[in-house]
Amino acid sequence: MFRSVPPSPADPVYLLSQRVREDTAPGKVDLGVGVYRNEQGRYHELRALKAAKRILAQEDANHDYGVTTGNAAFLANAAKLFFGREAEVLSSKRVTSVQAISGTGAIHLGALFLARTPAFAGKKVYVGTPAWGNYVPLFNLVGLEVATYRHYDAATGKVDFQSVLEATRIAEQGSIFVLQGCCHNPSGADFSPAQWDELADAMEAKKLFPLFDMAYQGLGSSLDEDAYGLRLFASRGFELVACQSFSKNFGLYGERVGVVHALSQDAEVASKVYESLRCLIRWEFSSSPAYGARLVDIVLNDDKLRQDWEIELATIQKRLADNRRALHAELVEKRQILRCRKARGNWGSILSSNGLFCFLPLNPQQCERLAAEFHIHLLQNGRMNVAGLNRSNIEHVASALVEVTNSASSRL
């Protein structure tokens, strides 16, 4: 029977991870998978997380099943982090929050909920490209059709905002728009506050539905600044779904800690939404992992730990910005001063992007050569994880980029 199983599409991120593991060169550089690496190129455990683990160990929490929809205290703290501690949408009980299997599971659960809601029957999901590779299969999996438009302008290294607005003009009323709140994956090209304001106007005029994907809050700017778009739409009276992940900003990648928040018109509707999400969770995975959620709740519930967490997030955000400036300086500024050969291409995207990622102006052949000859690994579309850079490898990366972009055989 299993001979009839159809072939599955390749996963570029999985293949890249496999190649990195198989590369035994001592100086290999992993600029691929979206994980924050510290200056030593290793997993970084936050100080507040270490403290929370010690506290949880003292509490001797059991391993019984939790409530189907998740830890209530954790969910309340997660909602405050997203919408703001004093947000009216929380005090009016219009937000339904349920735990999910990290950010990917949150988007799946949110998509499944929308697909089963009669108001969205026949509606398309609009996704800006280039996009996170899971969006299209996730929405298709629950029976939603995806339409695409251009989010990123490679020539400028910024958002193609006119393309975004044009998509809102042609979309039918009630269409779903996937909006990354900050640190866009894969481009790092984010909306400015003024663009968020204009986008809210355009979507309100067409009665379009926002689905926020917020996997990197605190890695672009401050926690509050990174939530600007979400909080704007909430204050403007939109109904929406917002998907939250604590993988990146808590370093809890393997614990799968996520939340789906649904903002409704009133508390009565919100209670119906809760029951619908509760059923979907029960039918799909019954109850959520407890360990990671307990750790997040300990940190967010303790003023001292939370302050330390925010301070360390700011340090991480600064390091990502410093890495960008250092690589750009090696590629362009220093070589200009020294009259050395510069890397061909427009490298402005390094400085104009936010968060973990940016696009380098490379083609697949150049990316392949970086891996094969220089042991520098990144996705073949040129997406780079800025956290993979450090003081010991930036000069090597820059020299390799100069070499591959100046080679006639691999030139764009």
Give the count of beta carbons closer than 10 Å to the beta carbon of residue 119.
9
Q: Cα angle at 99 between 93 and 104, to 5 degrees?
A: 120
Specify the pLDDT at position 27: 87
pTM: predicted TM-score of the whole model, two decimal places: 0.92
Question: Which of 30, 160, 190, 213 does the annotation list as catalytic?
Answer: 213
Same domain, 342 and 364: yes
CA within 13 Å, CB half, 36: 28
The DSSP bridge pattern shows strands 357-359 and 383-385 to be antiparallel
Question: Which of 123, 158, 196, 248 does the annotation list as catalytic?
Answer: 248
Specify the pLDDT at position 412: 45
Domain-located, residue 3 = no
| 132: annotated active-site residue | yes
Task: Residue 321: give the domain boundaries.
Answer: 11-44+306-406
Could you report the per-residue pLDDT of 71-104, keeping only the tens digit for each? 999 999 999 999 999 999 999 999 999 999 999 9
Question: Which of 123, 132, 297, 342 does the annotation list as catalytic?
Answer: 132
Q: Which of 303, 230, 308, 278 is nearest to 72 (CA)?
A: 278
Enumerate the β-bridge partners of residue 18: none
- For residue 348, report the phi and psi dihedrals to the nearest 5 degrees: -65, -25
CA within 13 Å, CB half, 228: 16
For the chain, the domain total comes to: 2
35 and 18 in contact (C-beta within 8 Å)? no
Query: What is the CATH classification number for the domain harbouring 211?
Result: 3.40.640.10
Same domain, 76 and 194: yes
| 190: annotated active-site residue | no
Could you report the per-residue pLDDT of 297-332, keeping only the tens digit for each? 999 999 999 999 999 999 999 999 999 999 999 888
Which of the listed residues 238, 272, 301 is the one where a domain comes to its end?
A: 301
Domain-located, residue 23 = yes
Give the count of beta carbons closer than 10 Å to the beta carbon of residue 362.
25
Using CB atoms within 10 A of its CB, is residue 297 exposed (0-12), middle (13-18) or buried (19+)?
buried
- Cα–Cα distance measured from residue 292 to residue 285, given in angstroms and rounded to the nearest whole number: 16
Same domain, 38 and 154: no
Same domain, 263 and 397: no
Residues of the chain with pLDDT under 70: 334-344, 408-412
| 248: annotated active-site residue | yes
- Cα–Cα distance measured from residue 135 to residue 77, given in angstroms and rounded to the nearest whole number: 27
Same domain, 263 and 373: no
Same domain, 251 and 332: no
- Cα–Cα distance measured from residue 389 to residue 384, given in angstroms and rounded to the nearest whole number: 10
Which of the listed residues 253, 276, 301 is the one where a domain comes to its end?
A: 301
